[in-house]
Copies of this chain bind each other. A is one copy, B any other.
Amino acid sequence: MNRSEAAERLLAAAEKLYYARGIHAVGMDEVRAEAGVSLKMLYQLFPSKEHLVAAYLDARDERWRGRLADHVAANGGSARDRLLAVFDWLGLWFAEPGFRGCAFINAFGELGGSAPLVIAVVRRHKESFRDYLVDLARGLPTADPAGVAAQLLLVAEGAMTACAVIPEPRAAQQAHLAATALLDGALARPVGVPEGAGAGRD
Q: Which residues of A contact B (CB under 8 A)?
A: 20-22, 24-25, 80, 100-101, 104-114, 122-123, 126-127, 147, 150-151, 153-162, 164-166, 170-171, 174-175, 177-178, 180-182, 184-188, 195-196, 198-201
Contacts and interface: CB of A to CB of B under 8 A. Distances in A.
A147 B175 CA distance: 10
Contact of A154 (B107, B150, B175, B199): B175
Given A113-B22, A154-B174, A188 B200 contact: yes
Given A22-B110, A123-B165, A201-B80, A171 B154 contact: yes
A141 B113 CA distance: 44
Given A147-B174, A166-B123, A185-B181, A114 B25 contact: yes
A100 B151 CA distance: 21
Contacts of A186: 181
Contact of A112 (B22, B166, B171): B22
